[in-house]
């Protein structure tokens, strides 16, 4: 098996089925399978998925009893995969023709590469920023534009249309195409993360192991965005829980203090303009306790 595609469904079966259809319509020549992990969706959504997934005989459904989030959901599906490469794909994406083969062929030709990603386009077929920068004291204080003058390779321009594959710091968690052996060697996703910062965490681990991450120009995916989550106070809190965990895991104490202070000051300014954000400021002051994570708010199916 060349490629295993792992995706999560959470009360968004219409997106999941459309994504599976786009994979079928892309007609890859590499052998592939899909593992769809249902993260404890409500019964009507799960029933829709169960009733229609049989249209894709290469897709397998794995059902979680609880919502395990992004990292936990993907790690629940990973043991069912058999591919030499594992493509962790958001269900609110559409894979364009030739993309799976392009990623497979690139990885075959670059054995030192652990992770690549397609270029991401919007629903209106407009190219979007498909990568980010690893958070640091320098880029939080001075910004990427200034740092690019001194270290251009560390800060490629996010809005440039690249005509070749390029090394980037962090690719989108929506479309991560891993070499299986590297993914396993580095321990897979850290399931302490529930929704956010998994891609930054993995990028830091790859960087420490001198493994480059590539963005491919000839592999393309449409990302609709917001298929399973909408931005609200709980989601904002979830981001900071994950982000503070990332800082505590990988950064020195002085770096943590500076970066957290930058975010706190920014949130103070927002709270002055928008009183509705004051509960988030209070949450930051409390240290972003994990007990308020959505992980612990499991509803009835």
CATH of the domain at 8: 3.90.550.10
Residues 152, 53 within the same domain: yes
When computed from its CA atoms, the radius of gyration of the chain, rounded to whole angstroms, is 19
Domain of 280?
A: 233-296
Residue 62 parent element (H or E): strand 59-63
Q: Of 139, 134, 144, nearest to 171 (Cα)?
A: 134
Token readout for 95 is: 């894979």
d(CA 16, CA 13): 5
Residues 102, 247 within the same domain: no
Q: Count of CB atoms within 10 A of residue 129's CB?
A: 12
d(CA 172, CA 198): 10
Predicted confidence pLDDT, tens digits, the chain (301 residues): 999 999 999 999 999 999 999 999 999 999 999 999 999 999 999 999 999 999 999 999 999 999 999 999 999 999 999 999 999 999 999 999 999 999 999 999 999 999 999 999 998 888 888 999 999 999 999 888 888 988 888 899 888 888 999 999 999 999 999 999 999 999 999 999 999 999 999 999 999 999 999 999 999 999 997 444 556 889 999 999 999 999 999 999 999 999 999 999 999 998 889 888 899 999 998 989 999 999 988 754 4
- What residue ranges in 90-133 does DSSP mark as E strands? 93-95, 115-121, 131-132
Q: 269 in a domain, yes or no? A: yes
Q: How many domains does the chain have?
A: 2
pLDDT computed for residue 20 by the predictor = 98
* Residue finishing a domain among 179, 205, 223: 223
Residues 111, 189 within the same domain: yes
pLDDT computed for residue 150 by the predictor = 86
Give Cα separations from 189 to 5, 30, 235, 250 (angstroms). 15, 25, 20, 15
Q: Of 139, 71, 102, 112, nearest to 209 (Cα)?
A: 112
The two beta strands, 3-9 and 32-38, are parallel
Residues 176, 263 within the same domain: no
Residues 217, 264 within the same domain: no
d(CA 249, CA 204): 11
Residues 103, 177 within the same domain: yes
Q: Of 93, 111, 105, nearest to 175 (Cα)?
A: 93
Q: 71 in a domain, yes or no? A: yes
Q: Is 210 exposed, middle or buried (0-12, 13-18, 19+ CB in 10 A)?
A: exposed
d(CA 233, CA 53): 34
Residues 219, 277 within the same domain: no
Residue 159 DSSP one-character state: T
Residue 171 parent element (H or E): strand 170-171
Whole-model pTM?
0.93
d(CA 243, CA 199): 11
Residues 49, 67 within the same domain: yes
Residues 15, 153 within the same domain: yes
């Amino acid at each position: 098996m060349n490629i295993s595609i792992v995706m999560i469904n959470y009360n968004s079966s219409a997106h999941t089925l459309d994504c599976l259809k786009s994979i079928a319509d892309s007609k890859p020549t590499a052998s592939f399978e899909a593992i769809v992990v249902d993260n404890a969706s409500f019964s009507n959504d799960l029933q829709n998925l169960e009733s229609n997934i049989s249209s894709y005989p290469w897709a397998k459904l794995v059902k979680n009893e609880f919502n395990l989030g992004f990292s936990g959901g993907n790690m629940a599906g990973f043991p069912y995969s058999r591919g030499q490469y594992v493509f962790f794909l958001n269900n609110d994406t559409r894979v364009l023709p030739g993309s799976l083969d392009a990623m497979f062929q690139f990885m075959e030709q670059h054995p030192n590469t652990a992770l690549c990603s397609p270029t991401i386009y919007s629903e209106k077929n407009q190219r979007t920023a498909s990568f980010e920068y690893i958070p640091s004291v320098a880029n939080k204080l001075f910004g990427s534009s200034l740092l690019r003058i001194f270290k251009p390779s560390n800060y490629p321009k996010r809005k440039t249309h690249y005509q070749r594959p390029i090394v980037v710091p962090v690719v989108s968690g929506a479309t991560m195409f891993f070499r299986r052996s590297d993914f396993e060697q580095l321990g897979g996703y850290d399931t302490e993360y529930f929704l956010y910062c998994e891609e930054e965490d993995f990028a830091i681990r790859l960087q420490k192991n001198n493994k480059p991450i590539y963005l491919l120009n000839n592999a393309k995916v449409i990302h609709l965005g917001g298929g399973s989550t909408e931005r609200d106070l709980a989601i904002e809190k979830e981001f900071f829980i994950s982000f503070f965990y990332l800082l505590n895991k990988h950064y020195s104490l002085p770096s943590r203090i500076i970066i957290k202070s930058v975010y706190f000051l920014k949130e103070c300014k927002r709270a002055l303009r928008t009183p509705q954000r004051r509960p988030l400021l209070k949450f930051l002051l409390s240290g972003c306790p994990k007990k308020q994570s959505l992980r612990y708010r499991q509803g009835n199916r």
